[in-house]
Structure 1
Amino acid sequence: GTAATAEDVARVTQGLLVPGGPVDAELRRVLNLMLQLIMAGEFNSTWSISRPILALILMYKDTYTQAQELIVRQQPTEDRQQYVGKCFSELMVGVTDSLQTKNRDHFTRNM
């Protein structure tokens, strides 16, 4: 076979990330699921979950904010709500809108 050209890739992927499209909706769902896994402690490696979740947070800030607010509200006590809210705030301290290695490493340390 022949190697795919940039035009081939663009033609195949054109429209996949259209806001409100099927891929867009699935990626938002994945972000929500990953946040739930983190809250439940259901992951083996902070590094392995931090890399994809940062990309999703940066792509879907509105979904991240909504999920964060929902997770905080779902906590059983006011003290726990304050604690979880503080954790979410601290998660993004010093994190920029970039996927550069330095920024990803900083986000991983915050996790």
Structure 2
Amino acid sequence: MRRVKSMYAQTFNSTCKDWSENREFNLLYLKAQQRYFNDVLKAKRYVFLRDIYECLGFPITKTSLFVGWYYDLDKPLGDNYIDFGLPKDEEENTANITMDFNVDGDITNRFKD
């Protein structure tokens, strides 16, 4: 049974930066990017979805400019970590990988003017 994807879901495919025809390589690359952005989240305390879209070569959307993750152990808005929603099944026959990001939602209210 397939889960319904959110509006933030994207497919890493041949139109994306650093895509490869090798599915295993793509999964390794995306896992490395996920780890990197979790480190950025802990260091900066926030990451916008736009940052990840831009890094992976997805089109920037209006929503990606204000949706993202905010790291706060005292008052967590979400999970305090970034999950790309990478597939668990390694048996796919395509190098394309569909991801569904676990964004916290609009994080702009966490910033002061």
TM-score, normalised to structure 1, is 0.29
| Structure exhibiting the larger radius of gyration computed from Cα positions | 1
Higher relative contact order (Cα pairs below 8 Å, separated by 6+ residues): 2
Task: Select the structure that is richer in strand.
Answer: 2
Task: Select the structure that is richer in helix.
Answer: 1
TM-score, normalised to structure 2, is 0.29
